């Protein structure tokens, strides 16, 4: 008869025992409140999914370690300088690398040049990590102001897919994820995901890694009320005052929302 004190083990053992997340506010998890008073986000949610596919140890922790080095506002070169070198020290089984979005939305940026720098960093990561996961950018066609950058984002995405093919990277295709086109996937600032949006990205990332999930990232949303043209215009004006103008102002002043912010999980630690 089995020992009644034995810790239940997962039916399907996942190969990832360690995971490091690199990036900016998207990966830090902004606007997804966590249980500790900070932010959770899709990377934390993905880490939990991966951990649950590993055995539990006598300590009660999963046989899985996770670090999140992402900091809001970071540009690609900052991520490469501050975060990428840490991967060589940690040598994780999996690293997610999402960078370049803050570069692309800046006036005068060249997605071709950003992609070249991204690939150089991805090659470095492949030398120190068992698997590298990247993300395409979101389709911004329904987002005020950012919809005018859709062509640049699409160009960058094309580069990212080619980079993934050349370097054997896993790709979570956020551009193709139709469910996050729904307004409810986004927080009030329309720049960062809401909790449900983060959950759908976590599921998308898991599936890109070949991990089965009970939930579907493309599950339909419940019916929503339709705003009139007047209500939509009023909502857009309020959003511009509360979020767009301060965001533009920070860029004009050369400030970043990530100034003086430290990574929330700087070292590989058990869940």
CA distance 123 to 133: 12
Local confidence band at 191 (pLDDT 50, 70, 90 cut-offs): confident
What pTM, to 2 d.p., does this model score? Answer: 0.89
* CA dist list (Å): 216 to 50, 54, 181, 208, 241: 16, 21, 15, 13, 35
Q: Comparing 42-51, 135-144, 254-263, which segment has the lowest mean pLDDT? A: 254-263
Over residues 27-70, the pLDDT tens digits come to 999 999 998 889 999 999 999 999 999 999 989 899 999 999 99
Buried b (16+ CB within 10 A) or exposed e, 88-119: eebebbbbbbbbbbbbbbeeebebeebbeebb
Q: What is the mean pLDDT of residues 228-246?
A: 72
CA distance 216 to 263: 30
Say which residue, 8 or 241, is predicted with more confidence: 241
| Residue-level pLDDT at 5 | 47
CATH of domain 18-270: 3.40.50.1110
CA distance 109 to 252: 15
């Amino acid at each position: 008869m089995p020992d009644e004190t034995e810790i239940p083990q997962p039916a399907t053992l996942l190969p990832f025992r360690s995971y490091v997340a690199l990036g900016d506010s998207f990966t830090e998890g902004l606007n997804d409140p966590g249980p500790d008073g900070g932010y959770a986000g899709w990377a934390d949610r993905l880490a939990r999914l991966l951990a649950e596919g590993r055995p539990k140890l006598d300590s009660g922790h999963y046989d899985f370690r996770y670090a999140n080095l992402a900091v809001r506002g970071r540009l690609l070169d900052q991520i490469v300088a501050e975060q990428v070198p840490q991967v060589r020290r940690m040598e994780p089984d999996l690293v997610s690398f999402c960078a370049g979005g803050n570069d692309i939305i800046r006036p005068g940026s060249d997605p071709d040049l950003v992609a070249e720098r991204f690939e150089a960093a991805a090659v470095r990561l492949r030398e120190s990590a068992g698997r590298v996961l990247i993300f395409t950018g979101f389709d911004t066609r329904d987002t005020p102001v950012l919809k005018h950058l859709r062509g640049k984002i699409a160009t960058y995405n094309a580069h990212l897919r080619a980079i993934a093919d050349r370097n054997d990277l896993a790709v979570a295709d956020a551009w193709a994820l139709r469910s996050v086109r729904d307004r409810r996937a986004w927080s009030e600032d329309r720049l960062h995901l809401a909790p449900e949006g983060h959950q759908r990205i976590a599921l998308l990332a898991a599936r890109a890694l070949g991990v089965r999930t009970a939930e579907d990232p493309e599950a339909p949303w419940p019916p929503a009320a339709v705003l009139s043209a007047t209500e939509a215009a009023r909502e857009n004006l309020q959003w511009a005052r509360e979020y767009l103008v301060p965001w533009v102002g920070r860029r004009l002043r050369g400030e970043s929302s990530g100034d003086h912010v430290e990574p929330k999980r700087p070292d590989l630690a058990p869940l």
